[in-house]
Amino acid sequence: MQKFLAIMTILVLETGIMAAQNDKTVFCDRACLEGKVNQYLAAMVAHDASKAPFSKNLKFTENGVKLPPTEGLWFTSTGLGDYKFYVSDPQAGQVGFAGLVKEHDKPVILALRLKVVRGQITEAESEVIRTVKEENFVNLVTPPPALSEPLAPSERVSRQELIRISNLYFDGIERTDGDIVPWDPECSRLENGRRTAGLPSASAPAPDAAGEPPVPSCRDGLSSGILKTIYNIRPRRTLAVDEERGVTWGVYNFNHRGVLTVQMKDGSTSPSYAPTPNSSLIVEIFKIKNGKIRDIVAFITLVPYGMGDGWAGPLFK
């Protein structure tokens, strides 16, 4: 009798798990999460929040400021562009997105994160970059294909390791030490469409804008000393982790206290790129292959110093 009851218990549990996985109101897979993003975007362009599956307790921010979904880009958007990619994390019910949106018919970058609970969007965190240089749009035509390519099982690392490696990048910046970060030889970084580190590779084939100066390797960019302008990187939030593709999507605050000069690695002195206090609200997307950072795509907008990101609290209390 006890053996029979044990078998029945196992069957009931397995049936419940399978039902939960097949019930899209409970479990949202990759296609489901990307579909929620598409619903969000369509509703935004229509200026009608009722067309998106929002929870009644929705929290929505744009550039770190809490707003209702009638303001900001929800008020000014006039269409969608072709450039887009997704970072899906069914385990956490989170999805990151980056793409071009038209604002009064001019292109702007939208980096977006949604949290989905039982089929409803409970959190929408958006960053809108409205100051993209015209020449940088050449790198915003086709996303780096590696971001959407699955890794072979032998090339993957665990979820915890993906988060750890992503954070090592920011540790390297704070310590001005590119040697503590595991780099793929083909590492490349794009920042608002502009290449700031690494050489064009198969993962990022778009040509750079004509006349751009040479850029350092990913390792040397962290070690040169110019990033001493940054006081710290707080808060750090790695929010969507795609283990199959080896991609993370997070929001990080680069805080600048306002120094005039920094000492470079070679002993020379260089003007700081942020001589007055401000913070950079940055969405950073990492492609990590064989435990090494291969691609970095960053989207950046400036916010008042110490404001925080609208989710983790202010820098100072």
DSSP alpha helices (H): ranges in the chain? 2-22, 30-46, 73-76, 159-175, 218-223
Region 33-51: what's the mean pLDDT? Answer: 98
The pLDDT, as a whole number, for residue 316 is: 81
The whole-angstrom separation of Cα 216 and Cα 231 is 22
pLDDT for the residue numbered 213 = 66
> Cα–Cα distance between 198 and 294 in angstroms, integer?
10
Q: Which of 84-93, 125-134, 199-208, 213-222 has the lowest mean pLDDT?
A: 199-208
Mean of the per-residue pLDDT values of the chain? 90
Given a cut of 70, is residue 123 above it in pLDDT?
A: yes
Average of pLDDT values for 16-44?
A: 79
Is the per-residue pLDDT at 199 higher than 80?
no
Beta bridge partners of 302: 280
Q: What is the pLDDT of residues 135-150, one digit of tens each?
A: 999 999 999 999 999 9
The dihedral region occupied by 64, where left means phi > 0, alpha psi between -120 and 50, and beta the remainder, is left
- Nearest one of 259, 301, 296, 299 to 277, comparing CA atoms: 259
Put simply, whether the predicted model's pTM sits higher than 0.85 gets the answer yes
**Structure confidence at residue 2 (pLDDT):** 52
Question: What are 96's two structure tokens?
Answer: 């990151």
| Stretch among 18-32, 35-49, 103-117, 120-134 having the lowest mean pLDDT | 18-32
Residues 70 and 46 sit within 8 Å (Cβ to Cβ): no
Is the Cα dihedral 221, 217, 187, 176 positive or negative?
Answer: negative
Which pLDDT does position 240 carry in this prediction? 98
pLDDT score of 297: 97
- Dump the DSSP string for 16-83: HHHHHHH-TTT---HHHHHHHHHHHHHHHHHT-GGGS-EEEEEEEEETTEE--TTSTHHHHEEEEEEE
CA pair distance 62, 43, nearest whole angstrom: 16
Q: Are the C-beta atoms of residues 256 and 305 closer than 8 Å to each other?
A: yes
| pLDDT band of 24, cuts 50, 70, 90 | very low
The predicted pLDDT at position 5 comes to: 45
Calpha distance 238→251 (Å, rounded): 7
Domains of the chain (ranges; CATH) run 30-130 (3.10.450.50), 145-303 (3.10.450.50)
Inform me whether the pLDDT recorded for 12 exceeds 70: no
